[in-house]
Amino acid sequence: MRKQLFRRGITAAAIIAGLAGFSAAQAQETYKIGYITDLSGPLAGSYTPTWEGFELYIKALNDRGGINGKKVDVILDDDGLKADRAVAAAKKQTERDQVVGIFGLSLSSTQGPVYAEMRKAGVPVVSTFSGIGDALPPAQPFSYSTGIVFEIAGDAIGELGQAIKKGGKVVGMTIDSVGGRAALAHNKKAVEAAGGTWDEVIFPVATTDFTPFAQAAAEKKPDVIVGHYGSGQNLGVIPALRRSGYNGPYVVASYGVTEDTIRQAAQRAGSGENIYYVTRYSSSFDKNPSVGEVAAAQKKYGTSKPFSSMHVTGWALGKFTEAALKGCGWPCTREKLDQTIQTLKVDMGGLTGGPIEMSATDHYGPTYWRLYIWDAKDNVMEPKGNWIKKGSQGFK
């Protein structure tokens, strides 16, 4: 009886050891990275397409054989737009899943705690969708962004908005978040520097009926209104503004706002006239080979959301990630990945106006921005002018 028990014990131990060895071997065979974003919270509509664009890139990359013959394994976690959940997910990914870096992230209010926690753990974090100032020079260690840092977005929109109406009164609208307020502050600075006047309307993050806020904005008699928020808010604000009698120019800042959202909002508003769009990455309507590549991948692998510039944004992060992991070599460690990203320059091939370029002190680099106008007749986005370049210095 004892012998039998002993034998069984040995067998069980062997199986467990085998499994552990197998899973360790498996783990070593892939580049393991984490991705955290809001897939179920109030801004899921904005963040999901960006994740899908990233996922498309990784799928295509793995189908090509991966990097250095190793596949890329992405651990995805949903933060529901909550900072505590985002931090818990980041800890889980670093401690249990042993990822070498974390990508994505959601709203500015969830990014700060994740950046801070991962700095302690020595894990590089690259935010893609929107970003707080941690990545701007002088950058915080391990904190990077290939997305939209609100300070710079606000500045770029202020400059590009001059093509719509030189000088004049601009009303900025945003949700009550760190990033939203930062965007407004820099948008205001740029507008005033160009000789215009500024006013603003800020509403709570969880707002879903925008009518009183739209009326407050319309009552300020603006020449241009700029909306610094995501898809859902635009879906509500644009019709509410038109219902309030404001039919002037409205600029959509591309914080996760898809072209389909603009189409829907225009439809609800009864007109798509006078809607503009400012974006860091190309519109999905752009006719260039890189955007065509994303469209082809979307057709091949499929996405839950209609093809949009947010997929392009996620794809651009994928391209950046591939370059980072390639530079990191094999085996890739967190330290090596961090060192690699610090000197990374990635050609975006038309996905934006120029390359993404990092340095030891600047974890964001120069960015490129473009103004588009919505063609209400054909439901397409047309560029209005060329890309403008924005440096990352002087925003902190």
Partner 1 sequence: MEFIATVVILTCTYALLAAGIVILYKAGRVVNFAHGEIAIVGGYVFYSSGLMVGDSLWFAILGAVAFSVVMGAFIYAAMMRRVVGEPFYVAILITVGIAIVLKSAIIVVWRAEQVTIDVGVAPAVRLAGGATLSYMDLASIVLTVVFFLALYLFFTFTRSGVQFRGTAENPLLASQRGVNVNFVLSRAWIIAVSAATLSGVLYGGRAFLGTASVTIGLAGLTAALVGGLDSLRGAVVGAFIVALAQYLTVRLIDSVLSEALPFLILLVVMSIRPWGLFGTVEELDRV
Site string for partner 1, 276-315 (x = CB under 8 A): ----------------------------x-----------
By CB under 8 A, tell whether 379 contacts partner 1.
no
**Segment near partner 1 (CB under 8 A); pick from 51-59, 230-238, 323-331, 372-380:** 230-238
Give kind and range of the element (H or E) at residue 3. Answer: helix 2-28
User: Which range in 19-27, 236-244, 289-297, 345-353 contacts partner 1 by CB under 8 A?
Assistant: 236-244
- Dist CA 390 CA 367 (whole Å): 5
Map residue 107 onto helix, strand or coil: coil
- Provide the mask over 190-219, with x wherever binding to partner 1 is found by CB under 8 A and - wherever it is not: -----------xxxxxxxxxxxxx-xx--x
- Given 3-state DSSP classes, what are the helix, strand and coil percentages for the chain, each rounded to the nearest 5? 45, 20, 35
Contacts of 12 (CB under 8 A, 6+ apart): none
Rank residues 305 and 363 by Cβ distance to partner 1 and give the closer one. Answer: 305
**Under the criterion CB under 8 A, does residue 267 sit at the interface with partner 1?**
yes
Least Å from the CB of residue 215 to partner 1: 6
Long-range contacts of 241-245 (CB under 8 A, 24+ apart): 241/214, 241/217, 241/269, 242/269, 242/270, 242/271, 243/211, 243/214, 243/269, 244/211, 244/214, 244/215, 244/217, 244/218, 245/218
Stretch that binds partner 1, among 263-271, 310-318, 356-364, 387-395 (CB under 8 A): 263-271
Cβ proximity to partner 1: between 42 and 318 the closer is 42
Rounded to an integer, what is the distance from CA 40 to the centroid of its chain? 16
- Whichever of 121 and 202 has its CB closer to partner 1, that residue is 202
Q: Supply the DSSP symbol for 139.
A: P
Judge contact between 187 and 156, C-beta under 8 A.
no
Q: 52, 318 in Cβ contact below 8 A?
A: no
Minimum distance of partner 1 from residue 146's CB (angstroms): 25
In this structure, what token pair is assigned to residue 181?
């307020």
Instruction: Supply the minimum distance, in Å, between the C-beta of residue 197 and partner 1.
Output: 19
From CA 67, how far away is CA 292, in angstroms rounded? 23
> CB of 287: closest distance to partner 1 in angstroms?
29
User: Toward partner 1, which CB reaches closer, 210 or 277?
Assistant: 210
Question: Where in 31-50 is the site for partner 1 (CB under 8 A)?
Answer: 39-42, 44-45, 48
Q: Which residues bind partner 1 (CB under 8 A)?
A: 39-42, 44-45, 48, 176, 201-213, 215-216, 219, 231-232, 235-236, 239, 242-247, 264, 267-268, 270, 304
